[in-house]
Amino acid sequence: MARPLVTVLPGDGIGPEVVAQAERILRCVAPDVELVRHPIGGAALDAFGHPLPESTLDACRKSDAVLLGAVGGPKWDNVQPVRLRPEIGGLLALRKGLGLSANIRPAKTFPALLAASPLKGEAGLVDLVVVRELTGGIYFGQPRERREQGRVAVDTCIYSVEEIESVARVAFRMARQRRRLVTSVDKANVLETSRLWRETVERVAEDYPDVRLEHMLVDNCAMQLVRNPRRFDVIVTENLFGDVLSDEAAMLTGSLGMLPSASLRPDGETSTFGLYEPAHGSAPDIAGQNLANPIATILSAAMLLRLSLGRSDAAEAVERAVERVLDRGLRTRDLAAEGEPSIGTAEMGDAILQEIRSNR
């Protein structure tokens, strides 16, 4: 790779603040990487009349990887038509437009944060990955509309064998590098799409005889995650279930502000392009106040270095620095216990940078 190009999409709410910290880290550990910002979300809608300007999508297509902050906020909650809403016309269109159907969300507790987990004691030491199907299901199915003067609403959940197969393969490949257990989550006792999901995953599993497969209903999975999350290794599930369960899994590790994510093309063996973003969203209530936790975005940048740029050493340097800063007791507000002091977004960025520099 000559000079890698990373498109940076700060977006809305806390997006610009957390992305700014991740950019500082990237400039430090990979100074040759070119970072170019482009608008997305509500910010792009206000400035250019569309939440995903053609120029932004083009820039992403031409780059080696994309780093995104977050999109959306109360200012744009009632935007009409719906296809111009930052989430739908911005983020979802970006994921779809780039063909990123496999979303990887690793939830791993940093030992120093065990006390921040809502679970008691060792139960909070989670190490699992949610593999979420990202460009299908009820998020994209047609029709989606209001009927009968707005008094009835329809969304459509639709899945094809191909869509299920490709995300299932991502999960099995990932399990091979971990503890070799795939939990496929569905609602097969009610939904037809879930029955197709289950059948298809069963078939794919035949190609991975060294990986154990189990099926779990989504309500049971939500319960098992708070009861005994340590039993999970790789969870693979459809778009909407994955959205819900990944927030739950993130919180088990101490804060939603800790969960990074990578959205990849399912042909992960031939393509390394990816979109990296924190799973937490735009948090408009704390935007612009230097209160947000930048770690999920910084860890997303580490995933970018490893998976898209092939720079494992730089990725590890970032991850180790995050760990040491937490070991030193530094906490943003979301991680601090009641009465415990906390630091701001930029100060957390400073501390992580300092750790990286002092360990070279």
CA R_g for the chain: 20
- Contact between 277 and Mg ion by CB under 5 A: the answer reads no
Q: Which of 299, 310, 353 is nearest to 109 (CA)?
A: 299
Residue 208 annotated in active site: no
Contacting residue, 64, 87, 133, 355, with ligand IPM by CB under 6 A = 87
For the residues of 25-64, what is the DSSP string, one character each? HHHHH-TTSEEEE---HHHHHHHHSSSS-HHHHHHHHTSS
Of 91 and 174, CB closest to ligand IPM = 91
**Segment interacting with Mg ion, rule: CB under 5 A, options 145-153, 179-187, 221-229, 243-251:** 243-251
Pattern 215-244, binding to ligand IPM, x per CB under 6 A?
Answer: ----------------------------x-
Instruction: Work out how close the CB of 193 gets to ligand IPM at its nearest, in angstroms, rounded to a whole number.
Output: 18
Residue 187 annotated in active site: yes
- Contact between 238 and Mg ion by CB under 5 A: the answer reads no
Of 221 and 279, CB closest to ligand IPM = 279
Cα distances (angstroms) measured from residue 81 to each of 89, 95, 230, 259, 279: 10, 20, 43, 31, 26
Residue 243 annotated in active site: yes
Q: Which of 256, 268, 314, 272 is nearest to 22 (CA)?
A: 314
Cβ-based neighbours of 28, under 8 Å, separated by 6 or more = 353, 356, 357
- Contact between 41 and ligand IPM by CB under 6 A: the answer reads no
Residue 62 annotated in active site: no
Candidates 77, 219, 285, 313; catalytic one: 219
Q: Which of 346, 357, 354, 355 is nearest to 22 (CA)?
A: 346
Of 72 and 266, CB closest to Mg ion = 72
Instruction: Work out how close the CB of 75 gets to ligand IPM at its nearest, in angstroms, rounded to a whole number.
Output: 15
Q: Identify whether the C-beta of residue 7 lies closer than 8 Å to the C-beta of residue 66.
A: yes
Specify which residues 186 forms β-bridges with: 217
Residue 219 annotated in active site: yes
**C-alpha count within 13 angstroms, C-beta hemisphere, residue 160:** 8
- Contact between 259 and ligand IPM by CB under 6 A: the answer reads no
Contacting residue, 64, 243, 319, 355, with Mg ion by CB under 5 A = 243
- Contact between 296 and ligand IPM by CB under 6 A: the answer reads no
- Contact between 163 and ligand IPM by CB under 6 A: the answer reads no
What is the three-class DSSP state of 289? Answer: coil
Contacting residue, 59, 98, 129, 279, with ligand IPM by CB under 6 A = 279
Instruction: Report the distance separating Cα 122 and Cα 230, nearest Å.
Output: 9
- Contact between 91 and ligand IPM by CB under 6 A: the answer reads yes
Sheet of strand 212-217, all strands in order from the earlier edge strand to the far edge: 34-37, 5-11, 65-70, 274-276, 262-264, 102-108, 127-133, 234-237, 181-186, 212-217
- Contact between 12 and ligand IPM by CB under 6 A: the answer reads no
Give the residue numbers annotated as catalytic, written as ranges: 139, 187, 219, 243, 247
Under the rule (CB under 6 A), what is the footprint of ligand IPM?
72, 87, 91, 243, 279, 281
